[in-house]
Every structure is written in structure tokens, then in C-alpha cells.
Amino acid sequence: MIRLVLLAAPLLLAGCSRNEPERNAANADDFASRIGTGGTNAPAAAPTGPGATSAIKAAPAAAGGNVFALEKLGDISAVNLGPRAGGCTFSSGGTEMLIAAGPADPALPGKAVVRVGGKLYELDTPPGGIAAIREGTDFNGEGFSIRLAPTAPGKGTITITNIEGQQKTVAGDWVCA
């Protein structure tokens, strides 16, 4: 009897899922419309303001943001920094302005996040993993970049460069775990 049930189970499951691509597509479109993408594979609107927790890849200047005015990170609970073997935080004047993480594998890149104009922006690093991030690296975003250089144990500077090539350097704390 158990053998019969085990043989019949795959057939029952196959029967439940076949011949329904139109219905599955309709359900996907319905779900997409409820979460704000309208079934067009367009990205959902990025959350804004101090409570925004998802990072986007976009040029902050295009949205009226000033890349030279990095803001307190705040809640970054929904930010995906990818696989990581550790992370580092840059803060100035007690305000966390950049958090970065990277994998153990030096052949892989890391990620970072900053907040500009109330929105979180995702930045990428070149390959080098967490070791490169700890030692100082470039973080590249849409329309701007940030170069981090450790200056002493627990200290560092970031140099922000906008799309026009203008720069601003900020000194602060560079703490890695």
C-alpha cells in the first residue's frame, strides 16, 4: 500500500501543475500589480525617507540628491550586501555614513551602502573580498564613487567624487569586524 502511494504521488503532483501556464501567468501578473510592478518587470518604486531600508542602483544627483552630503544610514535591515565574511563601517562625527561587506574569496567583489537625499544607494567594489575592503578600496555607484583610505588603526578618510569629477574628503572612523 505504501509503495502504491509513493508511486502515485508524483503523478498527482504533475496533474496539479500541468496545463496551467495561462493561469500561473495571470497569478504572477496579479501578484506583481499588488506589489507595485504592474506585471511589466519594472522595478518597484524605491522607498524614500529616513525609514527607507532597500538600496537602489541609481544616480543620486538625478533625484536631486547631493552625494557630498552623506546622511546617517539608519535602518538598513532590507539591504542585501551579498555573501560576506565580515564588514566595515565608516562614521564621521558619530554618524554612520557607509557600511561595506565582502566575501572571504578575494576573486569576488564586495558591496557598500550610503544614504543620500533620504534614499539608500548601493555601491560595488572591485574584486578583492573583505580583505580589500578592510585595507581600503573604491566603492562605485551610479554617478559617483567613494575611495576609502585607512589612515591609522580605526581611522580613515573617504573621498567622494561626483560625476563632474568634483571631490570632497571626510575624515572619520573606519571600524571593521
Note the pLDDT tens digit of each residue in 51-90: 455 677 766 766 678 999 999 999 998 899 988 999 999 9
Please give the Cα distance from 45 to 68 (Å, whole number): 24
Strands 95-102 and 86-92: antiparallel
In this predicted structure, the answer to whether residue 8 has a pLDDT above a threshold of 80 is: no
C-alpha cell at 56: 537602489
Residue whose cell numbers read 560576506: 84
Q: Does the predicted TM-score (pTM) go above 0.85?
A: no
Give how far Cα 123 sits from Cα of 37, 47, 76, 111, Å.
24, 17, 14, 6
Segment 7-35 mean pLDDT: 38
Identity at 42, one-letter amino acid code: A
- What's the N-to-C CA distance of the chain in angstroms? 57
